[in-house]
Amino acid sequence: MSGRDHVVWTNEMDNVLINAMLEEDHKGNRPEGTWNTRAFDNMLQMKWTMCVLRATFGPVIQKSNIKNRMKTLKRTFAECKDLFHGLSGFAWNPVTKLFEATFDVWKQLIQEKSEARKRMHTPINNYDKLYEIYSEQRAIGEYAKSAREKVRRWQREESSSQIDLNDTFENVIMFDSEFNWANDNNMNSPEPSLHP
pLDDT tens digits, residue range 104-116? 999 999 999 999 9
Strands 98-100 and 91-93, by their bridges, are: antiparallel
Range 160-187 average pLDDT? 52
pLDDT higher for 196 or 115? Answer: 115
Whole-angstrom distance, CA of residue 97 vs CA of residue 124: 5
pLDDT higher for 98 or 31? Answer: 98
Whole-angstrom distance, CA of residue 139 vs CA of residue 149: 13
Confidence band for 185, pLDDT divided at 50, 70 and 90:
low
171 in a structural domain: no
Whole-angstrom distance, CA of residue 138 vs CA of residue 34: 11
The total of structural domains in the chain comes to 1
26 in a structural domain: yes
**Mean of the per-residue pLDDT values of the chain:** 75
102 in a structural domain: yes
Q: What is the DSSP letter of 146?
A: -
52 in a structural domain: yes
Range 34-49 average pLDDT? 79
**What's the pLDDT score for residue 57?**
59
Is pLDDT above 80 for 178?
A: no
2 in a structural domain: no
Is pLDDT above 70 for 32?
A: yes
Residues in a beta bridge with 4: none
167 in a structural domain: no
145 in a structural domain: no
Is pLDDT above 60 for 33?
A: yes
Is pLDDT above 50 for 87?
A: yes
181 in a structural domain: no
Whole-angstrom distance, CA of residue 96 vs CA of residue 90: 14
Query: What residue numbers bound the domain in which 120 lies?
Result: 11-138
Is pLDDT above 80 for 196?
A: no
Q: What is the pTM of this model?
A: 0.62
